[in-house]
Amino acid sequence: MKKEIRWGSRTYIMGIINLTPDSFSGDGLMNGTDLVNNALEQANQFVSEGTDILDLGAESSRPDAEPVSAEEEEDRLMPVLTAILKNNLNAIISVDTYKSSVAESALRAGADWINDIWGLRYDPSMAQIAAKYKAPVVIMHNGRELKPESPHSENEKRKDIINRVKNGLLESINIAQEAGIQMENVILDPGIGFGKTVEDNLALINRLDEIKAMGHPVLIGPSRKSFIGATLNLTADQRLEGTAAAIAISITRGADIIRVHDMKAMLRVARMCDAILNQKRKSI
């Protein structure tokens, strides 16, 4: 039985399962000897700790990562997805991909959500696939798409980061709407760390309420990101407290979902924030 999502009732937790050898955070499960069992063990642990959503990603999105073909991505993803579905875990299954063929294979097999780091822009068929399967889709703003040779690039970069992100997300929302994706199935992600400066990322978290005002649930993924390392001068494995601070502020600014590596610690942060915010609502 899948978990029920009731937006606004509490913060939902998305656990990151990296089916790669080259994750920026050092948690890529392909470094082990048995990808399927390693992933299944992590999925079970996350669910036992309280995760709501498992996000399976089979291609690294770090800036200098080598791209993989759709075939290789499916080879990594599908055996793990099949095993997790067979175990009937009490969690929503999200697949982190920007390729429509991978998305369709996953949705056909029983995945619930698509998490597209290119906001339906990379693959022109992605929106149609999400609409076909009536799947919720996370559309992310990706600042890496601005090309230096583009005549609009410099003008875009001069814009306030919130306006730049909102404009990009609106374009993705329009793509979704034109493809027939139900608007209640659209989740927004401002894309922390994707083509953005340290100052951009800090501003996005501090002003996340302006993204929330666009009228869709909001996902935020600051976990272990480099802006935390730059601010605190810490390596990826030392960014727990910085991640906790970023998540706490994000929740107070309206985040509905937090995407995390450190499940147990960040769930406690979320539950504490929820308790404080719910107390505030009761007093109004």
Active site residues: 225, 259
Query: Helices 100-109 and 70-86 meet at what angle, rounded to 10?
Result: 20
* Identity at 2, one-letter amino acid code: K
The rounded distance, in Å, linking the Cα atoms of 117 and 140 is 5
Helix, coil or strand: residue 207: coil
Which of 76, 63, 132, 68 is closest to 98 using CA atoms? 68
Residue 41, both tokens: 């063990």
Q: Please state, in angstroms and as integers, the Cα–Cα distance from residue 241 to each residue in 201, 234, 266, following that order.
A: 17, 11, 10
Which of 274, 279, 215, 230 is closest to 250 using CA atoms? 274
DSSP per position, 53-120: EEEEE-S--STTPPP--HHHHHHHHHHHHHHHHHTT-SSEEEEE-S-HHHHHHHHHHT--EEEETTTT
The dihedral formed by the CA atoms of 232, 66, 70 and 85, expressed in degrees to the nearest 10? -40
